[in-house]
Structure 1
Amino acid sequence: MAERPIIKLQWSAMDKIMEGLGFLALVLLLVLPIYFYPELPDRIPRHYNVSGQVTAYWGKGMIWMMPIMGLITYAGLFFLNKVPHVFNYPTAITPENAEKQYRGATRMMRTLNLTIVFIFLYLTYSTIQTSLGVQEGLSEFFIGLAMGLLTGVIVIYLVWSLKTKK
Structure 2
Amino acid sequence: MDKFSYNKPKLKIPKSPLQKALDILASIAFAAGIVHLIAVWGQLPDQVPAHYNGAGEIDRWGSKWELILLPTIAAFLAVFMTFLEKHPEWHNYMNLNEGNIEFQYRNSILLLNVMKNECVLLFVYLNYQTVQVALGQAESLGILFLPIFLAVFFGSMIFFIVRSIKHK
**1:34-87 CA distances to partner (integer Å, 9 max, x unpaired)?**
221111000000111222111210011111010100010111111110001100
**1:128-166 CA distances to partner (integer Å, 9 max, x unpaired)?**
00000011110211001111111111111111101112x
The percentage of counterpart residues that share the same residue type is: 28
**1:74-131 CA distances to partner (integer Å, 9 max, x unpaired)?**
1111111000110011x23223211100101111111101111111011100100000
Match of 2:158 in 1: 155
Q: Distance in 1 between matches of 2:80 and 2:23?
A: 14
- Counterparts of 1:2-13 in structure 2 under 5 Å? 2-13=6-17
TM-score scaled to structure 1, two decimals?
0.94
Q: One-letter code of the match for 2:151?
A: G
- Counterparts of 1:1-166 in structure 2 under 5 Å? 1-89=5-93, 91-165=94-168
User: SS state of the match for residue 6, structure 2?
Assistant: coil
Q: Distance in 1 between matches of 2:19 and 2:56?
A: 33
Q: Shift of the alpha carbon at 1:23?
A: 1.6
Runs of 4+ off more than 3 Å: none
User: SS state of the match for residue 28, structure 2?
Assistant: helix
Q: One-letter code of the match for 2:114?
A: T
Q: Shift of the alpha carbon at 1:12?
A: 2.0
Unaligned stretches of 5+ in structure 2?
none
TM-score scaled to structure 2, two decimals?
0.92
Q: Distance in 2 between matches of 1:139 and 1:19?
A: 27
Q: Distance in 1 between matches of 2:123 and 2:14?
A: 28
Q: Shift of the alpha carbon at 1:31?
A: 2.3
Q: Distance in 1 between matches of 2:118 and 2:153?
A: 7
Q: Distance in 2 between matches of 1:63 and 1:18?
A: 24
Q: One-letter code of the match for 1:127?
A: T
Q: Distance in 1 between matches of 2:125 and 2:63?
A: 19
Query: What's the C-alpha RMSD, in Å, of the aligned pairs?
Result: 1.2
Q: Distance in 1 between matches of 2:108 and 2:33?
A: 26
